Amino acid sequence: MSYLVTGGTGLVGSRIVRDLVREGQQVVVYDWQPAVPFLQRVLNDQEIESNVIVVQGDVTDLPLLIHTITQHRVERIIHLAGLLTLESNANPPLALKVNCEGTLCVFEAARILGLKKVVWSSSNSVYGPPERYPQKFIPNDAMHDPQNIYAATKSFGEAAANYYFDQYGVDITGIRYQTVYGVGQRRGVFGAVVRELVLNPALGKPGRVPYDDALIGWSYVDDPVRATVLASKVHRTKTRNFSIMGDPRTLQEVADYVRKIIPGAVITLLPGSFTGDPVQLDTGPVEEEIGYRPEWSMERGIKETINNVRQEHGLPAI
């Protein structure tokens, strides 16, 4: 079986490619700026040479998408390519082109070619602030209330996915990622937080972390990766888009844990508010229909991240 993974050299994408390859799948990585070293972080050269084809391409280029899918006999797509929050909010027209038009092109290619499955990365940011919902855990089918351009593009993607399923029978599943972290995080406001809070102390450097009291759903990268791969194998679920959760912890809790396992770590928490995405979500549907439950606690994920970056710099594990 052959998969196309858009954005397949990013933090999540490279690990999805890793897991698919180690299942014996052939994978076509479709990326605007392929970063092969990120694949080499998680796969050896032989695995890449034997099982991975890298295509430089734009997700808004429908003819190239169709050509690539046809040429490599792709049966399933995992669509991750897109602008993140800061990039989207800084350039709304580009966000609409990449996140909305690009996602439509992926769905349209799947429709034209009759592909078996599309899984794509939505976001829990489609919901509004937690206080807008009466339940402690926001229901999976709660009304969307996106608060920024990025969130609005993801809400649009969910509406488009529903339309393609209802009108054309294209089997599309969205996974709403929470706050994903791990070594290799290059982009976004949360990447800067992880650098200051986790990566710098891991290398003996001081960290200055904003938003000292923020509550964040810490989602170690291997959890959303597993949810996405599982979803690619389940057909015509009752639910079209699924919420998944990380481990809700404050930045203060994470800082305390980092100091505990790295004695002498210098971490300064700076005051400030953080309007983050909701962290308490109803995950019953994804558990029942896809069989996914998170496996990584904050402690386990933070320690793994620390040891991964230390290994890359020739330092012993903690």
Q: Is 176 helix (H, G, I), strand (E, B) or coil?
A: strand
The number of angstroms, rounded, from the C-alpha of 40 to the middle of its chain's C-alpha atoms is: 19
Query: 117 near 173, Cβ under 8 Å?
Result: yes
- Residues 3, 127, 133, 150: which is the catalytic one? 150
For residue 77, give the amino acid letter: I
Neighbouring C-alpha atoms within 13 Å toward the C-beta of 103: 26
Query: 267 near 201, Cβ under 8 Å?
Result: yes
CB count in 10 Å sphere of residue 143: 11
For residue 15, give the amino acid letter: R
Question: Closest Cα partner for 78 from 28, 173, 20, 6?
Answer: 6
Q: Round to whole Å and give the CA distance between 74 and 6.
A: 12
Q: Round to whole Å and give the CA distance between 39 and 247.
A: 27
> For this structure, is 150 an active site residue?
yes
Instruction: List the beta bridge partners of residue 119.
Output: 78, 173
Residue with tokens 């986790």: 198
CB count in 10 Å sphere of residue 46: 8
What string of H, E and C letters represents the secondary structure of 252-279?
Answer: HHHHHHHHHHCCCCCEEECCCCCCCCCC
Give me the active site residues, please: 150
